[in-house]
């Protein structure tokens, strides 16, 4: 998806703090049909974790803003006025977003932290304790519609899928790795604590497919690392 970006220079909400370098005007995005109103009305579902803009804060900027997260394009949108919507540039300087009055914490992270080329994604922070964090990626996909070629065929409307989750651990050395999908792979990460982890998982009936159990387990891991 190609982005043709023009940076703007103005102030937000009457304050004297210039923040427009982090804005990209959606009207300047080329080839992005799904942002047009006519496209949305025929699409089932939507690409947002919460459809409405919510009062939020970008850490490092004093002014609160109305934000929402687009989980299809992995962008944060900001509403400056009813018909004036921008995206936030993926700048490491602005990497923490407290959304819906601090109910959600969304972070911009570099998943390719062992590579010379950064790969920035937004992840929700579910837990941060003793330099160990549990992060979650929320991903929504788009399925093209199909127009019937004959009167005997059934067509399908284009639609956004339900959100899919994947989980990551941010270790004390700031590396971000996929949360192990099995107990065996988890124990490979903590070979010296194998006995403690095994006992904890058994005693608490931990399932690595349940988010609440991942939070409980990560909280425990933060105490033994």
Residue 15 lies in a domain: no
CA–CA dist 148, 134 (Å, integer): 45
In which domain, by residue range, is 218 found? Answer: 180-225
In tens, the pLDDT along 9-40 reads 233 333 333 344 455 544 443 333 334 344 45
In tens, the pLDDT along 161-207 reads 999 999 999 998 889 999 999 999 999 999 999 999 999 999 999 99
Residue 83 lies in a domain: yes
30 lies in the same domain as 70: yes
- Dihedral through CA 49, CA 53, CA 55, CA 61, nearest 10? 90
171 lies in the same domain as 204: no
Structural domain ending residue among the three candidates 144, 162, 179: 179
171 lies in the same domain as 199: no
Answer for the pair 125, 218: CB distance below 8 angstroms, yes or no. Answer: no
Residue 6 lies in a domain: no
For range 69-79, the mean pLDDT: 90
Give percent of the chain with pLDDT exceeding 90: 52
146 lies in the same domain as 105: yes
151 lies in the same domain as 217: no
Specify the pTM: 0.80
Residue 8 lies in a domain: no
Residue 13 lies in a domain: no
187 lies in the same domain as 162: no
Residue 11 lies in a domain: no
DSSP string spanning 151-211? TTSPPB--EEPPPEEEEEEE-TTS-EEEPPSSHHHHHHH-GGGHHHHHHHHHHTT--TT-H
45 lies in the same domain as 84: yes
118 lies in the same domain as 220: no
137 lies in the same domain as 46: yes
DSSP summary character for residue 28:
G
Q: How many domains does the chain have?
A: 2
Q: Which of 67-76, 111-120, 175-184 has the lowest mean pLDDT?
A: 111-120
CA–CA dist 156, 154 (Å, integer): 7
Answer for the pair 195, 188: CB distance below 8 angstroms, yes or no. Answer: no
CA–CA dist 87, 203 (Å, integer): 46
41 lies in the same domain as 127: yes
103 lies in the same domain as 156: yes
Residue 198 lies in a domain: yes
Residue 111 lies in a domain: yes
112 lies in the same domain as 152: yes
Answer for the pair 195, 202: CB distance below 8 angstroms, yes or no. Answer: no
């Amino acid at each position: 998806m190609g982005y043709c970006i023009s940076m703007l220079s103005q102030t937000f909400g009457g304050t004297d703090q210039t923040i427009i370098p982090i804005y990209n005007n959606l009207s300047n995005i080329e080839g992005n049909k799904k942002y047009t109103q006519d496209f949305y009305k025929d699409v089932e579902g939507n690409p947002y974790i919460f459809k409405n803009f919510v009062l939020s804060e970008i850490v490092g900027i004093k002014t609160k803003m109305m934000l929402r997260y687009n989980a299809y394009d992995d962008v944060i949108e900001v509403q400056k006025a009813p018909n004036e919507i921008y995206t936030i540039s993926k700048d490491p300087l602005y990497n923490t977003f407290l959304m819906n009055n601090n109910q959600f914490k969304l972070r911009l992270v570099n998943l390719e932290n062992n590579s010379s080329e950064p790969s920035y994604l937004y992840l929700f922070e579910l837990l941060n304790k003793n330099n160990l964090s549990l992060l979650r990626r929320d991903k929504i996909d788009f399925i093209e519609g199909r127009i019937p070629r004959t009167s005997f065929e059934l067509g399908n409307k284009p639609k956004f899928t339900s959100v899919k989750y994947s989980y990551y651990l941010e270790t004390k050395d700031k590396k971000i790795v996929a949360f192990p999908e099995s107990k065996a792979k988890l124990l490979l990460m903590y070979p010296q604590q194998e006995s403690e982890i095994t006992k904890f998982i058994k005693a608490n009936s931990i399932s690595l497919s349940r988010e609440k159990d991942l939070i409980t387990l990560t909280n425990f891991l933060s105490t033994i690392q």
